[in-house]
Amino acid sequence: MGMTITQKILAQHAGLQEVRSGDLIEAGLDWCLGNEVTTPPAIKIFRQLGAESVFDKDRVCLVQDHFTPNKDIKSAELCKTMRCFAHEQAISHFYELGRKEMGIEHVILPDNGIVFPGDAVIGADSHTCTYGALGAFATGVGSTDLACAMASGSTWFKIPEAIKVVLHGEFGKYVTGKDLILHLIGMIGVDGALYKSLEFTGDGVKNISMTGRLTICNMAIECGAKNGIFPVDDITLEYISKTNPERYAAGDYKVYQADDDAEYEKVIEIDLAEVPLTVALPHLPSNTKRADECSDIKIDQVVIGSCTNGRLEDIRTAADMFRGHRVADNVRCIVIPGSQRVYREALDNGWLAIFDDAGCVISTPTCGPCLGGHMGVLAKGERCVSTTNRNFVGRMGDTGSEVILSGVPVACASAIAGHVATPDMIGGAYEG
């Protein structure tokens, strides 16, 4: 029996010829990632282990993004703890606020050319699965596992079963990768891929941009998946050739393809042309509905950004949507570029001026409102359409508030209309 892409990557990193679903292995790691929320507890455990230095100062990434710029004393102390550890250990990939490489962790690691095809990555953040879009194995872990991995350079895994998601055709107008992953989660539920690998394949893959793939893999965790992964193709190679030309030119990466006889727990076929503009209503990502069936739902706030939809393509789309429009009088709209680079390009291209003219709040890169941290916390009874990845009870503020998940086009249209809306519901909608 053959192996899936994920199984091949894990076998190689464990020094094994083959692995099977359910096997327990210890695998070497290319990258360990932590943020200012999850790294301080890991540092404490790192000390308790008696470790004096990380396994490789050039293979540990520490990013300040959740409660930064520091919203209070506690968040400032968390950042200080991580900052001091990074300086002590001479961590090469420590990202300080305001620097051009800085931003939300799952935006900057791909865009800064850190993760490449064939890499094995863990991060003390559940959305580390984002990097599967590059043909890498990437998954979230707890702070204890991060501590041990920072010390040893390896960690243990149970080899996951796999679900093959076969994509056909291409998206309809305005539809994005966010709509696809919400559609899929709606099909299988929040535990539909529990501890399984979601492997995306089919002729439709070539019609999904890297931004779309990153968004799709980012939310693999929302249906319980251990990881999401795309095959490497010309779109992948073009992307990495720009993010890290030196590593690309050196061929310092490995492309894996699933075997024809690889074993899958199930196969799901999706025609991209049939994926509608989709929203997830409160309080689960699986509570999905066609966006055009929800126009009677009034809203108070819109958030555009996060590790799910704060990339350059997302912000460009938002600028195109808002050009010539204004945010509805009853709505607050917050735009959060996912990195300092995205922010600067948005500034240089005049997109920030478009947002300002439209009546949007423009934020520095931060996770902020996604986890109810800052920059957009909701009061009781308020409702937000958000391009973030979770809409659990109290996720963005008071337990009496509500979050509706959507892609960027629906979020922008909703901000302009004052209720859940699709681009064709507002005059002069962009062409996509």
* pLDDT higher than 80, residue 90: yes
The percentage of the chain sitting over the pLDDT mark of 90, rounded to a whole number, equals 96
Length of the chain: 432
pLDDT value of residue 144 = 96
* HEC letters along 10-66: HHHHHCCCCCCCCCEEEEECCEEEEECCCHHHHHHHHHHCCCCCCCCCCCEEEECCC
* pLDDT higher than 70, residue 240: yes
pLDDT value of residue 285 = 95
The percentage of the chain sitting over the pLDDT mark of 70, rounded to a whole number, equals 99
Calculate the average pLDDT of the chain: 96
Residue from 25, 253, 40, 31 nearest 149 by CA: 31
pLDDT value of residue 432 = 58
Burial 177-200 (b: 16+ CB within 10 A, else e): bbbbbbbbbbebebebbeebbbbb
* pLDDT higher than 70, residue 430: no
When pLDDT is cut at 50, 70 and 90, the band that residue 306 belongs to is: very high
What average pLDDT score do residues 210-235 get? 97
When pLDDT is cut at 50, 70 and 90, the band that residue 428 belongs to is: low
Residue from 217, 233, 234 nearest 225 by CA: 217
pLDDT value of residue 426 = 86
What are 213's two structure tokens? Answer: 């793939």
pLDDT value of residue 413 = 97
What average pLDDT score do residues 31-53 get? 96
pTM of the model: 0.95
CA atoms within 13 A on the CB side of 292: 10
Pair 15, 21: CB distance under 8 Å: no
What are the chain's domains?
Answer: 5-14+24-270 (3.30.499.10), 280-425 (3.30.499.10)
pLDDT value of residue 1 = 78
What average pLDDT score do residues 233-259 get? 97
d(CA 7, CA 210): 23
d(CA 427, CA 430): 9
What average pLDDT score do residues 277-296 get? 96
What average pLDDT score do residues 415-431 get? 85
What average pLDDT score do residues 71-91 get? 96
What average pLDDT score do residues 403-430 get? 91
When pLDDT is cut at 50, 70 and 90, the band that residue 100 belongs to is: confident
d(CA 226, CA 90): 31
When pLDDT is cut at 50, 70 and 90, the band that residue 427 belongs to is: confident
pLDDT: which is higher, 431 or 330: 330
pLDDT value of residue 69 = 93
Contacts of 354 (CB under 8 A, 6+ apart): 319, 322, 323
- The torsion angles phi and psi of 79, rounded to 5 degrees, stand at -65, -40
* pLDDT higher than 90, residue 278: yes
- Model pLDDT for residues 250-277, shown as the tens digit of each residue: 999 999 999 999 999 999 999 999 999 9
Ordered alpha helix ranges (H), 49-176: 73-88, 105-111, 143-152
- Model pLDDT for residues 36-46, shown as the tens digit of each residue: 999 999 999 99
* pLDDT higher than 80, residue 429: no
144-148, 297-301, 372-376: range with lowest mean pLDDT: 372-376
* pLDDT higher than 80, residue 294: yes
When pLDDT is cut at 50, 70 and 90, the band that residue 296 belongs to is: very high
| DSSP for 221-244, written as a single string | GGGT-SEEE----HHHHHHHHHH-
What average pLDDT score do residues 140-162 get? 97
* pLDDT higher than 70, residue 215: yes
What average pLDDT score do residues 142-159 get? 97
